[in-house]
Amino acid sequence: MADESSSSSRDSRAACAACNYLRVRCNFDCPLARYFPANRASEVVWVDRHVGLAGFVELVNRMRPELRDQTAESLISKAKGRRRDAVHAAADIAQHLLAKTEATKKELQSVRQHLALLRSQQSPTSSV
C-alpha cells in the first residue's frame, strides 16, 4: 500500500518543461527537470534551438557540481539573448556588462574619495 501512495505522488508531479517539449515521460532522474520546471517552457525551445538539449546537458555535466547551476543559467541567458537578437546578442550582453563595470568603478572611486575625506577630517580631532 505504501507503494501505491508513492507512485501516485510520483504521477502528481508535473513533468518538466523539457520533457513536455520532447513529449516524453519525465522521470525523477531527469537531468533537465532541475533547470526547466514546467513554468519555463519557452526557455526550453530557445535552448534547444541554440545548443540543443543534449548539448545543454553535456555542457552542464562537464562542469564541477558547484558550477552547474550557474552554467545552466548562463546558457539559458545566452539562448534568450540570441532569441532577441540573433546577430548581436553576445555583443549586446558584453556591452551592457562593460557599462555596468565602468559605472561600478566610478562609484567605487567616489566612495574611496569620500572615505579619504572622512579619514582626513577625523585625524586632526584624534590628535588633539
- Alpha helical stretches, state H, the chain: 2-12, 17-22, 41-50, 53-62, 68-84, 89-127
Residue length of the chain: 128
CB contact at 8 A, 43 and 36:
yes
- Whether the per-residue pLDDT at 46 is higher than 80: the answer is yes
The mean-pLDDT minimum among 11-25, 63-77, 114-128 falls in 114-128
Region 63-84 average pLDDT = 89
Alpha-carbon distance values, 45 to 21, 76, 78 (Å): 8, 10, 13
Output DSSP code: residue 40: G
Phi-psi region of 52 (alpha: psi -120 to 50; beta: other; left: phi over 0): left
Domain boundaries, the chain: 8-84, 88-128
On whether the CB atoms of residues 79 and 49 are closer than 8 A, the answer is yes
Pick the more confident residue, 33 or 3: 33
Percent of the chain with pLDDT over 70: 82
Band (pLDDT 50/70/90 cuts) for residue 107 is very high
Helix (H) or strand (E) segment spanning residue 15: none
Checking if the pLDDT of 88 tops 80, the result is no
pLDDT tens, position by position, 94-103: 888 899 999 9
For residue 9, the model assigns a pLDDT of 39
